[in-house]
């Protein structure tokens, strides 16, 4: 694989994908005010963002409606209350987790829906189930992706097999998901090349969703882009689980395509992000996340450390080592 484009060029395959509500929902149990979501929608439209993900299509038999805000479930009417018929260029996405979704009950045909894309989140060992879910959505008329989480734990032969399965399917896009924020740019370029080799021949695109445990989410995103990755996930002010994601403001400032426009998002940030922090919502890079990222572990212990207001990083380091 070679480099695609340069720091000066515009690539028409690029799609900027806002995952703020969906990944940020993992921090506050999806309890966003309508005002927040509506303002973000308007900011994304004005900023030229290509996709906005509203949340999950979670199964209400598994998750109690009263424990979560509405974006855990993304009902058609709730989305329409924000976007109307979405008469804009911004496409709307929802995420469906393998094993936690009842698509046959909860998804209507695309012709009746304001949703454009369904992204199926899967670990490498449940790819066949993920493809089945994506095929179901494809038949209903949706764009689809399969998002392979915890990519830092996938071995190369499994990953190549996953690429073959996706290549034979109707899935539109295969996503790299660095859930643990473990991957260094040098390795990220290799992973991107493996995906691109698997997808290019069949005309499918590749996406990246990075986490910021080691302050590498933006770097990994633009390095993957430079190899040929097209779908670029980001969240406003990094809002997302644990250390958060690639900051949308860095990504939009970087991209050369004049369709992207930073000021509407800066205005959104000014209005909403300080409030969210004052209310006690905590996310973003800190040493506990660096450590779980470096040790290639799920961030759950670091999230617990954060919730408990702990700052004894050196003890946490020992705790992680004990577990290894």
**Which parts of this chain interact with a copy of itself (CB under 8 A)?**
3, 6-7, 184-187, 212, 214-220, 222-223, 226, 247, 249-250, 253-254, 262-263, 266-267, 269-270, 274, 287, 290-291, 294, 311-314, 317-318
For the chain, where are the alpha helices, taking DSSP H only? 20-28, 34-47, 76-83, 103-106, 127-140, 156-167, 185-200, 217-227, 248-254, 263-278, 287-294, 300-307, 313-323
Within 10 A of 138 (CB to CB), how many other CB atoms are there? Answer: 18
Which one-letter DSSP state was computed for residue 50?
S
CA distance 256 to 262: 12
Nearer to a copy of itself, 202 or 275 (CB): 275
With contact defined as beta carbons under 8 Å apart, do 227 and 3 qualify?
Answer: yes
Residue 238 near residue 246, CB atoms below 8 Å: yes
Instruction: Name the residue among 270, 253, 254, 271 with its Cα closest to residue 262.
Output: 253
Specify the residue, 214 or 235, whose C-beta has the smaller distance to a copy of itself: 214
- 247 strand-pairing partners: 235
CB of residue 21 to a copy of itself, shortest distance in Å: 20
Q: How far is the CB of 64 from a copy of itself (least distance, A)?
A: 37
Nearest to a copy of itself of 267, 298 (CB atom): 267
Nearest one of 212, 243, 182, 176 to 27, comparing CA atoms: 243
Which residue number, 148 or 234, has a Cβ lying nearer to a copy of itself?
234
Q: Report the C-alpha gap between 116 and 51 in whole angstroms.
A: 9
Q: Indicate the residue among 85 and 186 with the shorter CB distance to a copy of itself.
A: 186
Least distance in angstroms from the C-beta of 203 to a copy of itself:
26
Shortest distance in whole angstroms from residue 316 CB to a copy of itself = 8
Q: How far is the CB of 42 from a copy of itself (least distance, A)?
A: 14
Least Å from the CB of residue 141 to a copy of itself: 38
Q: Which one, 2 or 203, has the nearer CB to a copy of itself? A: 2
């Amino acid at each position: 694989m070679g480099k695609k484009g340069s720091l000066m060029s515009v690539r028409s395959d690029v799609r900027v994908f806002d995952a703020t509500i969906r990944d940020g929902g993992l921090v506050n149990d999806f309890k966003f005010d309508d005002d927040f979501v509506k303002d973000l929608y308007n900011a994304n439209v004005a900023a030229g963002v290509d996709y906005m993900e509203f949340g999950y299509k979670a199964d209400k038999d598994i998750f109690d409606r009263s424990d979560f805000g509405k974006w855990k479930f993304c009902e058609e009417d709730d989305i329409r209350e924000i976007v109307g018929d979405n008469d804009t260029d911004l496409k709307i996405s929802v995420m469906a987790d393998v094993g936690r979704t009842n698509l046959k009950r909860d998804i209507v045909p695309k012709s009746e829906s304001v949703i454009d894309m369904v992204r199926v989140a899967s670990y490498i060992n449940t790819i066949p189930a993920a493809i089945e879910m994506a095929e179901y959505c494809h038949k209903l008329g949706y764009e689809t992706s399969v998002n392979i989480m915890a990519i830092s734990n996938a071995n190369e032969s499994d990953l190549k097999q996953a690429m073959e399965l996706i290549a034979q399917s109707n899935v539109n896009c295969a996503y790299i998901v660095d859930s643990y924020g473990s991957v260094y740019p040098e390795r990220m370029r290799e992973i991107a090349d493996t995906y691109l080799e698997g997808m290019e021949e069949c005309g499918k695109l590749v996406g990246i969703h990075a986490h910021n445990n080691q302050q590498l989410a933006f770097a990994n995103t633009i390095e993957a882009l430079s190899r040929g990755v097209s779908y670029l996930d980001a969240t406003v002010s990094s809002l997302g689980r644990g250390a958060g994601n690639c900051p949308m403001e860095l990504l939009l400032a970087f991209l050369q395509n004049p369709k992207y426009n930073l000021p509407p998002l800066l205005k959104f940030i000014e209005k909403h992000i300080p409030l969210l922090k004052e209310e006690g919502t905590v996310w973003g890079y800190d040493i506990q996340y660096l450590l779980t990222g470096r040790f290639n572990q799920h961030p759950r212990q670091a999230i617990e450390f954060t919730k408990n207001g702990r700052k004894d990083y050196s003890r946490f380091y020992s705790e992680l080592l004990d577990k290894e």
